[in-house]
Structure 1
Amino acid sequence: MKKAVLQVALDLLELKRALQIAQESLDGGADWIEAGTPLIKSEGMTAIRAIRDQFPGSVIVADMKIADTGAIEVEMAAKAGANIVCILADADDSVIAEAVRASRLYGTRLMADLINVADPVSRACQLESMGVDIICAHVGIDQQMIGKKSIDLLTTLSDQVHVTLAVAGGIDATTAGQAIHCGADIVIVGGWIVRSANVTESTRLIRVEMDAPSLLQMEKRSRDEEIRALLMQVSSPNVTDAMHRKGAMQDLISISGNVKMVGKAVTVQTVAGDWAKPVEAIDLAQKQDVIVINNDGCTHIAPWGELATLSCVSKGISGVVIDGAVRDVDDIRAIKFPLFAKAVVPNAGEPKGFGEINSEIRCCGQQVSPGDWIIGDESGVVVIPAVRAYEVARRALEVRKTEERIREEIRRGSTLSEVSELIKWEKR
């Protein structure tokens, strides 16, 4: 079987960083280097020229995502040093035809990207008949965040077209081999490599899996299990970044310090330290849920203490959030239970039974509905609306990956300002 090609997509904004990552990925076994669309938009044809100058013997892919003026944009990329130029598969047929003619004139190949195409199989067959050299089964990052998979798209194409097939979008060391089994000739990897703290090793792992793909099936998990597993890998700051600085609760303290909780909200409305409904909620909660209590911000009477906490431990509850006060914190800290509150007081209320369980509440400045996802750690607590939980969890993981690479570059002697090119990107 012909060896599959590993293409690394440099989807960054900064050319200096892209060139360093390109070198590290080639050291790890990458075959082709792609000037990603963000890099081309940021640096223009200078990016392609710089990659060609630094890697004269490598195949360079220019992800132009051409939608119009096919001949002009192919010419631009080809003259800058690209061997392969990418066009949007849903561009008008006249644009495709012009791009094909230009690619023949300038000695490049044309790759058509099927991102967002309504009928990808039919369109791929049309593109093949029009002379496109490579068809790319691509699910974009925003689509990945809501659960769509490029491997599924690749599978629908593998028996329908006869030109070279590429796959892109969310490919990592666990899915690279699967892509080969599903018919990919070219495996395009972006974030899993370029955001890695160790680009060379991450590339090597992909290369190994591509060269000897395993047949192991990934364990099937429910959507809730997937969300939980993703959120356990990220921090509350990662999540707020993924939500565009939204969702963070206000004025909370992690009573047990460096602990973490992730779970679906069981909401409680109570007043003036009345601890009946908060305690009753323990019996209604499921394993790994988070109990979220609105005590109307009352901080001189506690609706929660050690005995309620022990009950949570026995039920396997993930944590508790209180818009109000807590007591018995020495005992709670001793068992390292994730509990977040506004204040600590010794006073307990009475179990009068006022309030509600599993109604929509407002807690620490955030609306919380039953079933919303809650993540809490020493940096704070964030509410994720249930309808967006999978998407936000996926985006938070991307945030974490980006930070890993930046952290590594700072360790090598750069600064955050230098890595981010802050002066260039300040708002004008």
Structure 2
Amino acid sequence: LWVPQYLHVAMDLVDMGTVERVLKAVPKSDHVLIEAGTPLIKQFGLSVLSKIREIRPDSFIIADLKTLDTGNLEARMAANASADAVVVSGLAPIETIEKFILEARKTGIYAVIDMLNVSDPVKLVAELAKRGAAPGIVEMHRAIDTEGSKPNWGKIKDIKKAAGGKLLVATAGGIRQNVVKTALESGADIIVVGRAITASKNIQNAAEQFLDEMNKEEIDQFRVMTDF
């Protein structure tokens, strides 16, 4: 993940036919990340990652395990299943999160902390940084069941500062096109979108509209110009 911003397509799905349709329709881009959501992994197990990889061999794939215990074991399981990143819940004991992050590093994948229902994300990131276990990605997540609430994106810059180094922040939870600019202006590096893409009648068009909103064409052109 070398140059934000990224569109992160979250597949919180339980039907493999729908998964395949989404994977084939979402544009192939360096700035599109693919997530095997928690319901998808619960339905099919981590073996679903290899099925995703068959359809999109070059995509960056995230396994949303929302780990709460056995952090090092679950991080390694995701790495062995070909994940590029794996998600731990910020509600887990800090020792679990620390072991999870260190194991993810050891296996060469990104550790993501999902801050759903975490009261003080800045404090958690600062404590992990003190332990030498700052995550690669922090996800500021509003639950599907609480989408009427206001998203808490005001702390993004504080979270990055608390990490004391390079850290990407994702915004998630009922994201629609009309809030993309606000999220980016708040400091978000990754925009997590689920049903607005996966449940769309025209999946490709929906994803392209989000990418347009993020002005990804300009960044892709920049990459081409600097690859020589």
| Fold shared per TM-score above 0.5 | yes
2:170 is the alignment partner of 1:166: yes
Amino acid at match of 1:202: A
Aligned residue for 1:184, secondary structure, equals coil
Within-5 A mapping of 1:180-191: 180-191=184-195
Structure 1 position 71, deviation (Å)? 1.2
Structure 1 position 40, deviation (Å)? 0.4
In structure 2, the residue matched to 1:140 is 143
In structure 2, the residue matched to 1:122 is 123
Amino acid at match of 1:154: W
Q: In structure 2, how many angstroms separate the alpha carbons of the residues matched to 1:186 and 1:48?
A: 21
Q: In structure 2, how many angstroms separate the alpha carbons of the residues matched to 1:101 and 1:121?
A: 19
In structure 1, the residue matched to 2:18 is 17
Q: Please tell me whether the aligned partners of residues 65 and 113 of structure 1 are also in contact (alpha carbons under 8 angstroms).
A: yes
Q: Please tell me whether the aligned partners of residues 8 and 193 of structure 1 are also in contact (alpha carbons under 8 angstroms).
A: yes
Measured against aligned partners, the alpha-carbon deviations of 1:224-243 in whole angstroms (never above 9, x if no partner) come to xxxxxxxxxxxxxxxxxxxx
Richer in helix (by share):
2
TM-score, scaled to structure 1: 0.46
In structure 1, the residue matched to 2:64 is 63
Within-5 A mapping of 1:290-329: none
Q: Which moved more, 1:156-165 or 1:168-177?
A: 156-165
Amino acid at match of 1:204: E
Q: Please tell me whether the aligned partners of residues 72 and 102 of structure 2 are also in contact (alpha carbons under 8 angstroms).
A: yes
2:45 is the alignment partner of 1:41: no
Q: 1:191 to 1:204 in 2, by over 3 A?
A: same
Q: In structure 2, how many angstroms separate the alpha carbons of the residues matched to 1:110 and 1:48?
A: 16
Unaligned stretches of 5+ in structure 2? 162-166, 217-228
Structure 1 position 132, deviation (Å)? 1.1
Q: Please tell me whether the aligned partners of residues 156 and 186 of structure 2 are also in contact (alpha carbons under 8 angstroms).
A: no
2:209 is the alignment partner of 1:205: yes
Q: In structure 1, how many angstroms separate the alpha carbons of the residues matched to 2:185 and 2:172?
A: 15
In structure 1, the residue matched to 2:74 is 73
The correspondence for 1:179, drawn from 183, 186, 189, is 183
2:159 is the alignment partner of 1:156: no
Q: In structure 1, how many angstroms separate the alpha carbons of the residues matched to 2:36 and 2:82?
A: 11
Q: In structure 1, how many angstroms separate the alpha carbons of the residues matched to 2:80 and 2:57?
A: 14
Q: In structure 2, how many angstroms separate the alpha carbons of the residues matched to 1:107 and 1:77?
A: 11
Q: In structure 2, how many angstroms separate the alpha carbons of the residues matched to 1:76 and 1:159?
A: 32
Q: In structure 2, how many angstroms separate the alpha carbons of the residues matched to 1:72 and 1:29?
A: 29
Q: In structure 2, how many angstroms separate the alpha carbons of the residues matched to 1:67 and 1:187?
A: 24
Q: Please tell me whether the aligned partners of residues 8 and 30 of structure 1 are also in contact (alpha carbons under 8 angstroms).
A: no
Structure 1 position 161, deviation (Å)? 2.1
Within-5 A mapping of 1:237-386: none
Measured against aligned partners, the alpha-carbon deviations of 1:143-183 in whole angstroms (never above 9, x if no partner) come to 11xx2233xx2222323424211111111111112111110
Structure 1 position 47, deviation (Å)? 1.1
Q: In structure 2, how many angstroms separate the alpha carbons of the residues matched to 1:75 and 1:18?
A: 24
Q: Please tell me whether the aligned partners of residues 112 and 135 of structure 2 are also in contact (alpha carbons under 8 angstroms).
A: yes
Unaligned stretches of 5+ in structure 1? 213-428
Q: Please tell me whether the aligned partners of residues 114 and 137 of structure 1 are also in contact (alpha carbons under 8 angstroms).
A: yes
Q: 1:190 to 1:30 in 2, by over 3 A?
A: farther
Structure 1 position 70, deviation (Å)? 0.7
Q: In structure 1, how many angstroms separate the alpha carbons of the residues matched to 2:129 and 2:146?
A: 25
Give the total of aligned pairs. 207
Measured against aligned partners, the alpha-carbon deviations of 1:250-287 in whole angstroms (never above 9, x if no partner) come to xxxxxxxxxxxxxxxxxxxxxxxxxxxxxxxxxxxxxx
Aligned residue for 1:158, secondary structure, equals helix
Structure 1 position 124, deviation (Å)? 3.0
Q: In structure 2, how many angstroms separate the alpha carbons of the residues matched to 1:49 and 1:29?
A: 20
Structure 1 position 126, deviation (Å)? 2.5
Give structure 1 regions of 4+ aligned residues with deviation exceeding 3 angstroms: 27-30
